Structure 1
């Protein structure tokens, strides 16, 4: 499994490099075929400027299908590997993308191999590999929703939270606020101008204040730009906003906040673009039942499995919003997603794979 992980990490797959993503997905397919044989069904969907989506289906010995989802793109630019090669030392695996989430991808493939070699009954398995998760799954979302609509269970192989499965995630909204003012010389004719930068500064305070941490809603203005010079009343200024919510009611409230944004100066206009990138992943009865099954499986393997809620979102949000059973965090145990200390603890790779084997067999 570590050899397979190295093979995937050595294929750098930055979300914004289509050529690298194509090569990386070929590596994923080759690995699946080498370990599992040719799929019974195969669909490759051209993502255009985004990473392609590959679906590989393998028949089972029992009715139904389990959807196993993994993204093969990473946040690391091409060339990162040269200064940070795949390394195994002191019980840890390090390298760009090992934790988020190529270890989970490898575990998912080996789980099906394990089911076969152990002769365990199991439903069919459909793998969905997408290459645009780190940038919002703009292309793959509709294919994820279609694949999850009738699945017995959706297992997302994102990394765990210190071993716990992620049964709740926040929804994510990505918005841009553009303010248009009136340009003028700041010294010669200061009253003729209506500064977009000044107006935006006032609005940023209002936007930030719309957060409600007690309700699980956070609002972060992470980007600001505008103006052309110190001595010019700015004509345009923009800010980029990240919003995280735990429920749909908060989505509606934040929508109202953005719709009501107005500048005090009537000469200044405000426009808001963007949308909700992912809905909240909230516990539903099918997912709760699925977690209890996973808990029982872990207990049979001799360890306690916990659940947790996290602020980050994943592709599991899409399927959960359909009311389908979803378990996220089926992947690696480690730390450091999107950071140079990204790593996976080797000792947990077999037990996480065994958890998937036991759970999928239980679904038969």
Structure 2
């Protein structure tokens, strides 16, 4: 009990430091694919990580993108996160980091820069970090294309993975996540003069409209079930030309592997509606679902840790969005997500975090890391790799 009280007190005393660090990190823009900004943010985080871990980061550059890794020789737990955001360069000039009362706002403040600040602060409170690995990637928001093999390699070396993505607005951790797929449909038609002889053309815009309606029929009636959402659309060249080419992006989310595969097969069987139009499909399943059973043992440990720290009860939630925790859970590695900031509005102009929850979540993470690191046989014991 004395140790738990000291941990809580130490985290409370670091709240002002965390807010200052959060302001700095939000101000260090890290737009997807913007190498100068990602490298600058990586420089900052590499310095912070070395200060708390006592060992330098390995900068793993994949296709030019700088990921940060602090491996442990005897890696009993891996802390996982990302420092890229969805916001374009210049967003902080329009919407800078702002504190109003107990709430902080700014681009990426919740997803997931506050989680990174809490992660490093928690490691300041852990007496022995020699069995703790840390991996911060910079392409999560664009699908983790380059970082996925690195994530999976480090997960296989670990006894457990703690993902510092944001909690729910109520503070629930995330024990299960939907899986996701991404597709791009390309329609090839034939150009013609829209006013003089439109009948000679094959209108790619009309064809893509038929495909949008067909895609809508692939989702489930229940809004909490499988979603098939047309997103980014482009077609045509000039206002007086029958569009020759159209392109459509599609986002798919589902709770089960079977549902992702059902939709995948259906999308690949789509046929053109207009005579002479052609349809090509690229993409596929990106992340399989994160099943709740992979989080159960860690959830129970987090609950007992919270009780010892006299924190609010830790509750597990099912989250529709995917994260890199989907990758680690799919390998059968025990994974608990949502251990970062308490807030909401991710990917929007209203993104926020509750500042008064940062110390308690930091103490919870520190206590959980200590518990997992000290467990007997905490080296990898996979629950069973999901094929």
Q: 2:141 aligns with which of 108, 115, 134?
A: 134
Q: C-alpha distance in 1, partners of 2:55/2:353? A: 29
Q: C-alpha distance in 2, partners of 1:210/1:90? A: 45
Q: C-alpha distance in 2, partners of 1:92/1:190? A: 56
Q: 2:216 aligns with which of 208, 211, 222?
A: 208
Contact 1:123 1:360 in 2 (8 A): no
Where do 1:229-308 residues align within 5 Å? Answer: 229-284=238-293, 286-302=294-310, 303-308=312-317
Contact 1:69 1:155 in 2 (8 A): yes
User: 1:56 — aligned with what?
Assistant: 70
1:153 aligns with 2:160: yes
Say if 1:81 and 1:238 are closer, same or farther in 2 by CA, change over 3 A: closer
Deviations 1:272-329 (A, max 9, x none): 1112222211223x42111111111112222211111111111111101111111111
Where do 1:108-187 residues align within 5 Å? Answer: 108-116=119-127, 124-162=131-169, 163-187=171-195
TM-score, normalised with respect to structure 2: 0.85
Deviations 1:56-99 (A, max 9, x none): 1357xxx6421001111112222222333333331222222221
Contact 1:172 1:278 in 2 (8 A): yes
Contact 1:66 1:123 in 2 (8 A): no
Gaps of at least 5 residues in structure 1 are none
Offset, 1:44: 1.5
Q: 1:15 aligns with which of 32, 42, 46?
A: 32
User: 2:378 — aligned with what?
Assistant: none
Q: C-alpha distance in 2, partners of 1:188/1:339? A: 44
Q: 1:46 aligns with which of 51, 61, 66?
A: 61
Deviations 1:184-220 (A, max 9, x none): 3445444433322222221210111111143721011
Say if 1:225 and 1:56 are closer, same or farther in 2 by CA, change over 3 A: same
Runs of 4+ in 1 over 6 A off after TM superposition: none
3-state SS in 2 of match to 1:70:
strand
Q: 1:98 aligns with which of 104, 109, 115?
A: 109
3-state SS in 2 of match to 1:175:
strand
Q: C-alpha distance in 2, partners of 1:125/1:255? A: 38
Contact 2:179 2:287 in 1 (8 A): yes
Gaps of at least 5 residues in structure 2 are 1-17, 375-387
